Structure 1
Amino acid sequence: MGMMQWRVRPVLPAAKLVAALAVPALAALFAEGDVVRWGLAVVAAAALAAWAARDLVVPVRLAADPAGITVVTGFAGRRHLPWARIERVRVESTARRGLRSDFLEIDAGDAIYLFTTNDLSAHPEEVAAALADLRAVA
């Protein structure tokens, strides 16, 4: 097995950019000259644009090869973890208000990395199985 990568769903950055453009448009309709509402709209639009920029700058959230895995840290940093440092890979499921969420949890001892289906463009259980197979080969 060679290098494997999981990336953000392509539709997410586009949706975030559309939302970043829609917020000021909505402010124009409802702010009615209120400086505070305009300020909040600008801050919200900037936050959405920054969130979309992260998806565009670092679309690959998780990569794995026989040497270990590479995860995204911070805004656009990367951290390589050899297989020996990874204590556990598991899928954590939560159910709240009728909604179920699954997370891929990678425990590296000093840090825990969580990935959603949207981060991986795949179900976390599929990714956990692929990581287990790759780790067994390594």
Structure 2
Amino acid sequence: MDEISPVRQWRVPTNLPVTKLAGAVLLVALGLLFADGDPVRLVVAGLAAATLAGWAVRDLVAPVRLAVDPAGLTVIHGFAGRRLLPWPTVEAINVDRRQRLGVTGEVLEIDAGESLHLFGRYDLGATPEEVAAELRAARRYP
């Protein structure tokens, strides 16, 4: 039987924050280019760019979204904090699949009783199904 590594982490893909920052710069450039002196357009472009940049900063400050070890799961909490979910508090590990507009989306759900933690493909750098399988396997070997 294969031995499970004591610590496994899933993180945001490295190209994602770079793409978000490039999008923020593009929004500012487009706002300046097409605002035609309209302050509302400039403000809207600036707010959208600031939101996208803040989202990218979170990816850079806290790239690891989920980790597993013999003690349990460590999940991101808040903007960049961490929270340990000991194995006894983890009630369920599921993958929710929904189809919208012809596209199927998957979300990893970790139910810890009083809290529910959701992770998408771009949070994990892997498919939620793959991560769920690894978490279930790790849970068997506490």
TM-score range for the pair, normalised by the shorter chain length = over 0.9
Paired position in structure 1 for 2:53: 49
* Percent identical residues: 53
RMSD over aligned Cα atoms: 0.7
* Counterparts of residues 53-132 of structure 1 (less than 5 Å): 53-132=57-136
Q: 1:38 aligns with which of 35, 39, 42?
A: 42
Structure 1 segments (4+ residues) deviating >2 Å? none
Counterpart of 2:54, as a letter, is: A
* Whole-Å separation in 1 of the counterparts to 2:94 and 2:59: 24
Q: Deviations over 1:19-58 (max 9, x none)?
A: 0100111012211000111111111111111000000000
* Whole-Å separation in 1 of the counterparts to 2:43 and 2:32: 12
* Whole-Å separation in 2 of the counterparts to 1:23 and 1:97: 26
Q: 1:15 aligns with which of 2, 14, 19?
A: 19
Count of equivalent residues: 138
Where structure 1 has 5 or more consecutive residues not aligned to the other structure, the ranges are none
After TM superposition, the score normalised by the length of structure 1 is 0.98
Counterpart of 1:79, as a letter, is: R
After TM superposition, the score normalised by the length of structure 2 is 0.95
* Whole-Å separation in 2 of the counterparts to 1:28 and 1:44: 13
Counterpart of 1:133, as a letter, is: A
- Quote how far apart the aligned CAs of 1:109 are: 0.6
* Whole-Å separation in 2 of the counterparts to 1:34 and 1:131: 52
Counterpart of 1:127, as a letter, is: V
- Quote how far apart the aligned CAs of 1:11 are: 1.0
Q: Deviations over 1:62-97 (max 9, x none)?
A: 000010000001110111000000000011100001
* Whole-Å separation in 2 of the counterparts to 1:95 and 1:73: 28
Counterpart of 2:139, as a letter, is: R
